[in-house]
């Protein structure tokens, strides 16, 4: 990590001839609770030791001069001319617009950023970009916005400047993450409980399918629309229903004909996943890792067969894990879907053997090599010392 911090700081000093404020924003994983944040349910995410790092200082005028270290390209624009159009800068413009809409006193900045979060792997590199920039602006200009406000600004940026109608989970976990812990996040109340994660001789291993997803594509937003349509129909029968958080499986079965098969199946997955997440947090608290793992497998096949956001590569990786349940307590696809990583709870003594098996069989089947990331749980976005 130090080399990344030094690289960002060095590039900033070389380009802008002054010393920056340094800020980091971690990537995130989600142990369980997928596609329920935008349904106001419970999720169980955690911040991990992959991150986006920002070197930033006031520019002294209204212009922002931003350099993306990993892409090797820069862009300059006025804070009074936030017109989306250029790929990665859309996220940053959206954050600036979010601050302005709150009346927060932001000005132009010089900024260099870089990271070690694999893009397209489902680890929320885009949310880390938004949250890190928001955290940096808040620190730099002493806006005194609370972390939950920064999370909603980062979410707004993705909604309005990128076109992804994401929930709040990624942004919240990146800002509020705690070392060696997950967060049981109530996505309706925007409150959380810190749940210590004792892996008991196991490791968290991500397997990157190397299938790159684009969540701004229609499929993700279509799932959200399907859930909202289900809520609208159920609200006609029960005015207390304002999200799938308010719905039981019994209610869904009672109104199955009204919902239609497609909406019923998608909504049932979400309702069941909310329950699984609450149960998973209880299992973590009592160190019942195998019970948590079983729920993860259930979640994957729900995402694959009911919610239909998996792909053959992800299903193959989870099946390989399931064949080794003695050593791999749980596995599932993670993130919005259609590619990215699986998350696996693997006996630490078995990690290298499991990686070798996956590498061989996955390549033989799909002619591509997966990547492997062992991750640790860390604290949320913070300032760094030079």
Q: How far is CA 77 from CA 64, 109, 154, 260, in A?
A: 5, 10, 19, 49
Per the domain annotation, does 273 fall within a domain?
no
Nearest CA to 375 out of 49, 16, 139, 116 is that of: 49
What pLDDT score does 130 carry?
A: 97
Q: Is 97 left (phi over 0), alpha (psi -120 to 50) or beta?
A: alpha
Run of H or E including 315: helix 312-322
Which segments of the chain have a pLDDT < 50?
A: 216
Q: How far is CA 360 from CA 101, 277, 354, in A?
A: 52, 33, 10
How many angstroms separate the most distant Cα atoms in the chain? 67
Nearest CA to 49 out of 4, 106, 99 is that of: 4
Ordered DSSP codes for 107-162: --EEEEEEE-PPTTSSS-HHHHHHHHHHHHHHHHTT----HHHHHHHHHHHIIIII
Nearest CA to 115 out of 57, 70, 158 is that of: 70
Per the domain annotation, does 371 fall within a domain?
no
At residue 374, φ and ψ (nearest 5 deg) are -80, 130
What pLDDT score does 166 carry?
A: 76
Q: How far apart are CA 278 and CA 52, in angstroms?
A: 30
Query: How many domains is the chain partitioned into structurally?
Result: 1
Catalytic, out of 170, 208, 315, 347: 170
What pLDDT score does 214 carry?
A: 58
What is the domain extent for residue 63? 2-197+379-384
Per the domain annotation, does 140 fall within a domain?
yes
What pLDDT score does 216 carry?
A: 41
Per the domain annotation, does 333 fall within a domain?
no
Nearest CA to 33 out of 342, 275, 248 is that of: 275
Per the domain annotation, does 236 fall within a domain?
no
Per the domain annotation, does 339 fall within a domain?
no
Asked about 62 being catalytic, the answer comes back as: no
Per the domain annotation, does 255 fall within a domain?
no
Q: How far apart are CA 80 and CA 238, in angstroms?
A: 46
What CATH code is carried by the domain that includes residue 75?
Answer: 3.30.230.10
What pLDDT score does 201 carry?
A: 97
Interior angle at CA 347, CA 346 and CA 349, nearest 5: 125
What pLDDT score does 213 carry?
A: 63
Per the domain annotation, does 109 fall within a domain?
yes
At residue 220, φ and ψ (nearest 5 deg) are -60, -50
Q: How far apart are CA 123 and CA 343, in angstroms?
A: 11
């Amino acid at each position: 990590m130090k080399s990344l911090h030094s690289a960002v700081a060095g590039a900033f000093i070389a380009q802008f001839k002054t010393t920056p404020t340094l800020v980091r924003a971690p990537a995130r994983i989600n142990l369980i609770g997928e596609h329920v944040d935008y349904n106001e349910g419970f999720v169980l995410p955690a911040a991990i030791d992959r991150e986006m790092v920002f070197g930033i200082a006031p520019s002294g005028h209204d212009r922002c001069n931003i350099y993306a270290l990993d892409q090797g390209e820069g862009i300059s624009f006025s804070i009074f001319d936030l017109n989306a159009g250029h790929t990665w800068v859309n996220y940053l413009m959206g954050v600036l617009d979010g601050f302005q809409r709150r009346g927060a006193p932001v000005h132009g900045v010089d900024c260099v950023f870089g990271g070690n979060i694999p893009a397209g792997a489902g680890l929320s590199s885009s949310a880390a970009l938004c949250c890190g920039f928001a955290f940096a602006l808040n620190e730099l200009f002493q806006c005194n916005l609370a972390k939950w406000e920064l999370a909603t600004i980062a979410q707004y940026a993705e909604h309005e400047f990128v076109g992804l109608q994401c929930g709040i989970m990624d942004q919240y976990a990146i800002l509020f993450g705690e070392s060696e812990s997950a967060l049981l996040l109530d996505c309706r109340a925007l409150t959380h409980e810190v749940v210590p994660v004792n892996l008991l001789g196991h490791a968290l291993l991500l397997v990157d399918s190397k299938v790159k997803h684009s969540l701004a594509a229609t499929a993700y937003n279509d799932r959200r629309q399907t859930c909202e349509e289900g809520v609208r129909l159920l609200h006609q029968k029960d005015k207390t229903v304002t999200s799938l958080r308010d719905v039981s499986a019994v209610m869904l079965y009672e109104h199955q004909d009204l919902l239609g098969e497609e909406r019923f199946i998608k909504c049932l997955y979400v309702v069941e996943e909310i329950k699984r997440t609450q149960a998973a947090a209880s299992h973590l608290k009592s160190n019942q890792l195998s019970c948590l793992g079983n729920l993860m497998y259930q979640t994957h096949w729900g995402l694959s067969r009911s919610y239909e956001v998996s792909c053959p590569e992800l299903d193959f990786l989870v099946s390989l894990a399931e064949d080794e349940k003695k050593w791999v307590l749980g596995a599932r696809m993670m993130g919005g879907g259609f590619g990215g990583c699986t998350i696996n709870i693997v006996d630490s003594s078995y990690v290298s053997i499991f990686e070798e098996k996956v590498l061989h069989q996955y390549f033989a089947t799909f002619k591509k090599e997966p990547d492997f990331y062992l991750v640790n749980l860390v604290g949320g976005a913070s300032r760094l010392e030079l």
